[in-house]
Amino acid sequence: MKTLSKSLALVALAALAAAGCILTSGQFVATYDLPDATFSTGGTFQGELVDLTTIGEYNDHKDDIARVEDLSLVGDIRNNGNASAQAEVWIVPGATSAPTGVVPGAVKLWGPITVPANSTVNVDWNESASLFVGRQTLIDEIKGDGVFGLYLAAPSVTYDISTSNAALIIVFSAKK
């Protein structure tokens, strides 16, 4: 009788596997590398159109995202000026092109962080976590089509800021 029970259980599992009905879940990490950028008073401005569908881990699981577990914006922020300056990151939900200036309807996503004059601050995972203020807007975009705009802004009166080695890192759980 035990052999018959085991055989039926194995046949049932094989049938589910053949039909593609095996439940799988897990946590996945999607890293979107951001280009080096510069932003200065009355001068340069650089926005980025983020398309998460270009990342394999995201694209493979985007339809099955159950929850965004954690977020981080990491990298180096350089203040090239002679006075301390602050930097912020803004998100443009539903953008179809890279922002070329301050966008009405954008939401402050992150910051501000103060960068001393002529200094570079390395923003790591832990520091980044404390700077998120528009977290839900980003989560909505991640769970949506995964395409949105980001840009760097500085609430300081004068500034000359550049970023390097920057990345948006998303940890999400997915179920299938």
The pLDDT tens digits of the residues spanning 64-98 come to: 999 999 999 999 999 999 999 999 999 999 999 99
**Domain membership of residue 69 as a residue range:** 24-175
Side-chain-facing half-sphere of 34: CA atoms under 13 Å: 29
Output the pLDDT for position 100: 86
pLDDT > 70 in the chain, percent? 85
Total domains in the chain come to: 1
Flag whether 8 is in a domain: no
Flag whether 105 is in a domain: yes
Output the pLDDT for position 102: 84
Output the pLDDT for position 176: 65
Flag whether 59 is in a domain: yes
Q: Mean pLDDT over residues 133-153, rounded?
A: 94
Flag whether 30 is in a domain: yes
92 forms beta bridges with 149
| 109 burial type by CB count under 10 A (0-12 exposed, 13-18 middle, 19+ buried) | buried
pTM for this predicted structure: 0.82
Q: Mean pLDDT over residues 113-132, rounded?
A: 95
Flag whether 6 is in a domain: no
Contact predicate 176/115, CB 8 Å: no
CATH number at residue 103: 2.60.120
> How far is it, in rounded angstroms, from Cα 159 to Cα 66?
40
Residue 123 has pLDDT above 60, yes or no: yes
| For residue 35, cis peptide bond before it (omega within 30 degrees of 0) | no
What's the pLDDT tens digit per position in 4-30? 444 434 444 444 444 444 445 689 999
Output the pLDDT for position 38: 86
Residue 105 has pLDDT above 80, yes or no: yes
